[in-house]
Amino acid sequence: MGGIGVDNQAARPTVAEAIAERLAREGLRHVFGLPGGETLDLLDAFRRRGVEFVLTRHESAASFAALATGELTGRPGVCMATLGPGATNLLSGVAAAALERAPVLALTAQLPRSRRETTPHQRVDLNALYTPVTKGSFRLDPGDALRTLEKALRLATAGRPGPVHIEIPSDVPKAPCADEIGTALLAGGRPETASPQVSPDLCREAARMIAGAHRPVMLVGLGAKAAGQPAVTGLAEAGGLPTVVSPKAKGLISEGHPLFCGVIEMLGKSTVAEFVETADLCVYVGFDPVELDMLWEREVPGVWFDTVPDTDAYYRVDLELTGDVGAALKETAEALRKEAGDGAFTGSDGASRAAAGREALARRLGGSARPGLLSPAAIVEAVKAGTGSPRALVATDVGAHKFAVGQFWQSRWPGCFLMSNGQSSMGYGLPAAMAAKLLDREREVVAMVGDGGLGMYLGELETLARLGLGIPVVVFADGRLSLISIGQERRGYPSHGISLGPLDYRKLAEGSGGEGRVVSSAAELRREVAAAFGRRTFTLIAVPVDELLYRV
């Protein structure tokens, strides 16, 4: 990098080399994508700098893998595509990253600068296309390439994380990087940043509101990741707060904790919603409404903790604590303990209320599968039993099975569960599992998908095999788009346009370089999941599921 400031242009690194160096310095280990002639200079620069390019079978899979990488690491996941159709294919996962609050850096090629206005072939206005679904869309130039890249990396993680797009004209990567100001800017590394501290007076006021409530409930969402499990659990315990989590906040309070009482918007959603309706105070901790499909029409007072202000105005907030959410939770918990010591604490029956909520949910979700089929709960529990580590990670795709996995998969720690929920994108589960396994090849990672979603990204099975990833891919096989079928029933429409043809899962897996199994019992499923972790390729495990049990 030192050569950028030298007057002799021949000694300067190219823009491609400068980009590869900056990504490596940021600790970004993978770039997912499909190359094109316009991206070959970047591809080779990544190779020489040791940044692994992961070839996927479709650009959407690349952007979903980058999304999951951003979710798991807190740093931008990187994806790359060529111009025209490559860039438009990449868009789906980038748009999802905006609604999953995941930092992503999306690189797309473009026509060379000298031909941009006169060549119609494969010309798409990518900045106009990407601007509505990103935090920013920029065009790279050799004169400020490093500053533009730095701006994109910082913007992706600032505030609510999200995707940033950079358009790279095809003549730019091989040009000498002339951004001397950017070189000087980066010489000292990225500056440390910290969230503003929340006023202790506001924390004490929050404690008084919680202590004075008779039936407070805490709702934890993906914005609470910045606080961590100890701070979230600490507030729940100090306030005796029964706690409901959103799917992307699973594990921020252990699902074995006495105060945990369910996952909102998943299977049994009406029962969880009814429990929340009993509250006379809602304590929102990073509870981002992007995960909510339901209308929030509760008029009870609310206390808000988050790193960003409440600009959505989705639910009533009477007291807003914005800034360092972890520190604010700890300060409020300490104030609550003092309140309890003074005998002012009235909500201390939280554990018994949470237990009643869990029992009501269990009654709602109980049900036996028809002969020859497995219940969604039995499938999830068998998969869990097949893992050997309590920190095994599951990545679920979108479809009817998502609601079962989100409710039944027990997460005792954060970072053990991946789901597309803000955008709810089918096709997310397989690339997300791939990204998680690449980040830690020793970790047990499971993909749980529906047969509908699997059909969208069958080619990525070969990607798993090529990369040598021992992932069990569990398919909830019912031969239909069950979620759409349920919607048709509710509207009184006949079943139409939702049935899928049969698949030979064994041959499908073997033809893609993996192992294929079809199981008929929970015991078989548990054994096959356990065996899959010992292989150097994926295992596709089809399970016949009773789709009638999704209707709760």
User: How many percent of the chain have pLDDT more than 90?
Assistant: 88
Per-residue model confidence (pLDDT) at position 7: 44
Contact status, residue 545 vs residue 401, Cβ threshold 8 Å: yes
What gap in Å lies between CA 188 and CA 260, rounded to an integer?
45
Per-residue model confidence (pLDDT) at position 303: 98
Beta bridge partners of 541: 474, 517
What gap in Å lies between CA 26 and CA 8, rounded to an integer?
27
* Complete DSSP assignment for 59-124: HHHHHHHHHHHHHHHSS-EEEEE-STHHHHHHHHHHHHHHHHT--EEEEEEE--GGGTTT--TT--
What gap in Å lies between CA 384 and CA 496, rounded to an integer?
34
- Residue 305 has, within 13 A of its CA and on its CB side, a CA count of 35
Whole-structure pTM value = 0.94
Distance of CA 216 to CAs 201, 209, 228, 301, 502, Å?
20, 9, 21, 10, 49
DSSP structural state of residue 448:
E
Burial letters 345-370, b for 16+ CB under 10 A, else e: bbbeebbebbeebbebbeebbeeebe
Q: What is the mean pLDDT of residues 25-40?
A: 96
* Residue 155 in tokens: 């913007």
Average pLDDT taken over every residue of the chain: 93
Q: What is the mean pLDDT of residues 443-450?
A: 98
* Residue 357 in tokens: 């909520």
What gap in Å lies between CA 542 and CA 418, rounded to an integer?
20
* Complete DSSP assignment for 291-355: G--S-----S-EEEEESS---S--S--SEEEES-HHHHHHHHHHHHHHHHHTT----TTHHHHHH
* Residue 334 in tokens: 């300490």
What gap in Å lies between CA 30 and CA 23, rounded to an integer?
9
Statement: residue 187 has pLDDT above 90: no
Residue whose pair of structure tokens reads 């899962």 in the numeric block: 505
Which of the four pLDDT bands, split at 50, 70 and 90, describes residue 346?
low
Statement: residue 189 has pLDDT above 70: no
Classify 219 as helix, strand or coil: strand
Per-residue model confidence (pLDDT) at position 123: 81
Which of the four pLDDT bands, split at 50, 70 and 90, describes residue 326?
very high
Which of the four pLDDT bands, split at 50, 70 and 90, describes residue 1?
very low
- Judging by beta carbons within 10 Å of its beta carbon (0-12, 13-18, 19+), is residue 462 exposed, middle or buried? middle
Q: What is the mean pLDDT of residues 281-306?
A: 94
- Judging by beta carbons within 10 Å of its beta carbon (0-12, 13-18, 19+), is residue 141 exposed, middle or buried? middle
Per-residue model confidence (pLDDT) at position 10: 52
Statement: residue 5 has pLDDT above 90: no
Q: What is the mean pLDDT of residues 372-399?
A: 96
Per-residue pLDDT tens for 47-69?
999 999 999 999 999 999 999 99
Per-residue model confidence (pLDDT) at position 124: 87
Which of the four pLDDT bands, split at 50, 70 and 90, describes residue 115?
confident
Which of the four pLDDT bands, split at 50, 70 and 90, describes residue 345?
low
What gap in Å lies between CA 528 and CA 519, rounded to an integer?
8
Residue whose pair of structure tokens reads 């599921």 in the numeric block: 545
Residue 62: which of 34, 20, 97 has the closest Cα?
A: 34
Per-residue pLDDT tens for 455-503?
999 999 999 999 999 999 999 999 999 999 999 999 999 999 999 999 9
Contact status, residue 32 vs residue 23, Cβ threshold 8 Å: no
